[in-house]
Chain A
Amino acid sequence: MALTGLFLSFFLIIHLAGNLQLLLPADEAQLQYNSYSRLLGGNIFVKLVAYVLYASIILHTIDAIYLGIKSKRANGASYSRDKRGRASKWYARNMMALGIIIFVFLVIHFKDFWYSYKFGELPLDINGNKDLYTLVVVAFQELWYVILYVIAIVALGYHLLHGVFSAHRTLGLYHPLYSKIIKVLGIIFAVVMTFGYILIPVYIYLTHEL
């Protein structure tokens, strides 16, 4: 859980860095983003990382289901009056619900962009690269689609807010000072990822008029 979660978190950084290219001025962004996408597709190292990524998503999800079942079994009967929530954060208790939102989002995200790019027929740009840029920009013209992204990313943000720090504890970081530092870094990471990822669809929605 911790290892796959942290790998996914690490991937988020690279994925964000790549996608921020979408925010360049339109003509430049189109050519640069499309050739960047093609470069990624052709690189053997990137392919390896991609396989680790697919495996991580699957393993993380399987592990989540396993732990969910285990927890349900261990709980036995539920309380008739339950105020235990006062002692912990809501997002820490609802990692599964947040994870499900992320999972649903990932299915849509993969289908619309990843599948279309890898297996679909896309028009080419003037350099002869598949025009993923236009696909993305057109998708983000729809308000409901942008809202869907924002909801999913906020869910991801809360998932990370608890997840990054929790993963370090799972791995065994017990030093009082360092675990405090990790907690703060985890919060900064979650906030930066949330706003970074929200920026892309919102910026494209607001600036591009087709």
Chain B
Amino acid sequence: MKIHLKIWRQKDRQTKGAFKDYTLEDVSKDMSFLEMLDTLNIKLIKSGERPVEFDHDCREGICGQCGVMINGIAHGPLKHTTTCQLHMRSFEDGDTIYVEPFKAAAFPIVRDLKVNRSSLDHIIASGGYVSVDTGQAPEANSIPVTHEQAEAAFDAAACIGCGACVASCKNSSAALFTSAKISQLAQLPQGDKETSKRVVKMVYQMEEEGFGHCSFTEACQVECPEDISVLNIARMNYEYNKARLLKK
């Protein structure tokens, strides 16, 4: 198939960016979106041009590194799919595809389609862990966790930190990302002990990083590759309000 591309090119944060047009003549329907970009880059390198920079790592939908706006939607037209798991069969021969980086004040642009998402790491570092020295792996049944509890916690733990929720949000809120971690740990006996301390710290850090507030448009869950539930955000609010009201 023939594909027309309009790709955001921007040398660095200081320079102004703009769309640049490219055309690829024989793109296979079975290529992933990133393979299609690889094809473009090979062409660019051969002609002596600077290749298009984009983030990627696992290319199997688990690392959360890939992530761009494709035709104005985070990770492209398929719902609950990462960019690396999107294939060219989702497009038609002759289509024009717009590719832009995620845009948010907390995601400064690095180059082209690459943005710096360290702000998400800072949120996790502020409290998204269990602060005990685990030592040797303990006997698995010494702390009972029901199957349902484990599954519910795992649903929240499935977040891969891609930032599509932020990019899809009209307020650039990181509430879905942050709440997924809070909710995951709050549902397990090891994590729950520190919930109130954790939620206050993580919400504070989320604000520090310059993310917006959540107004429950629910766009984040629709575009989230892992279909992380917005109810986690409500749970984060519950834990936060509780921690604040019961503060000693």
Q: Which of B103, B173, B231 makes the CB contact (< 8 A) with A77?
A: B103
> What string of 1s and 0s marks CB contacts (under 8 Å) between B151-181 and chain A?
0000000000000000010111100000000
A74 touches B173 (CB 8 A): yes
Most buried by B among A74, A79, A81: A74
A176 touches B216 (CB 8 A): no
- Chain B residues near A162 (CB-CB < 8 A): 216
- The prevalent SS among residues of B at the interface is mixed
Residues 154-191 (chain A) with a chain B CB within 8 angstroms: 162, 165-166, 168-174, 176, 179
Stretch in contact with the other chain, from A43-51, A86-94, A120-128, A140-148:
A86-94
B231 touches A73 (CB 8 A): no
Shortest Cβ gap from B243 to chain A (Å): 11
A81 touches B212 (CB 8 A): no
Instruction: Say yes or no: is A84 at the interface (Cβ < 8 Å to chain B).
Output: yes
- Chain B residues near A207 (CB-CB < 8 A): none
Shortest Cβ gap from B67 to chain A (Å): 14
- Chain A residues near B104 (CB-CB < 8 A): 74-76
Most buried by A among B171, B211, B238: B171
B222 touches A172 (CB 8 A): no
> What string of 1s and 0s marks CB contacts (under 8 Å) between B203-235 and chain A?
000000011111111111011000000111111
Q: Which of A83, A88, A93, A168 makes the CB contact (< 8 A) with B73?
A: A83
Interface residue range, chain B: 35 or more
User: In the docked arrangement, what's the CA distance between A173 and B233, Å?
Assistant: 10
Instruction: Say yes or no: is A67 at the interface (Cβ < 8 Å to chain B).
Output: yes
- Chain B residues near A171 (CB-CB < 8 A): 237-238, 241
Interface size on A, residues (CB 8 A): 34
Instruction: Say yes or no: is B88 at the interface (Cβ < 8 Å to chain A).
Output: no
> What string of 1s and 0s marks CB contacts (under 8 Å) between A87-105 and chain B?
1110011010000000000
Known: A76-B105, A79-B72, A87-B223. A95 touches B215 (CB 8 A): yes
User: In the docked arrangement, what's the CA distance between A54 and B191, Å?
Assistant: 43
A169 touches B216 (CB 8 A): yes
- The prevalent SS among residues of A at the interface is helix
- Chain B residues near A95 (CB-CB < 8 A): 215
Shortest Cβ gap from A24 to chain B (Å): 40
- In the complex, residue of chain B having the shortest beta-carbon distance to the beta carbon of A172: B238
Q: Which of A70, A77, A172 makes the CB contact (< 8 A) with B239?
A: A172
B237 touches A169 (CB 8 A): yes
- Chain A residues near B211 (CB-CB < 8 A): 74
A87 touches B106 (CB 8 A): no
- In the complex, residue of chain A having the shortest beta-carbon distance to the beta carbon of B73: A83
B72 touches A81 (CB 8 A): yes
User: In the docked arrangement, what's the CA distance between A77 and B218, Å?
Assistant: 22
Known: A74-B105, A79-B103, A172-B242. A87 touches B98 (CB 8 A): no
Q: State the 10 A-B residue pairs at the shortest beta-carbon distance, nearest first.
A: A172-B238, A83-B72, A74-B212, A174-B234, A87-B222, A87-B219, A88-B217, A76-B105, A174-B235, A74-B172
Question: What are 25 contact pairs spanning A and B, CB under 8 A?
Answer: A71-B170, A74-B172, A74-B211, A76-B103, A76-B172, A80-B19, A81-B69, A81-B71, A83-B71, A84-B73, A86-B222, A87-B73, A87-B222, A88-B219, A92-B215, A92-B217, A162-B216, A169-B234, A171-B237, A171-B241, A172-B235, A172-B238, A172-B241, A176-B231, A179-B234
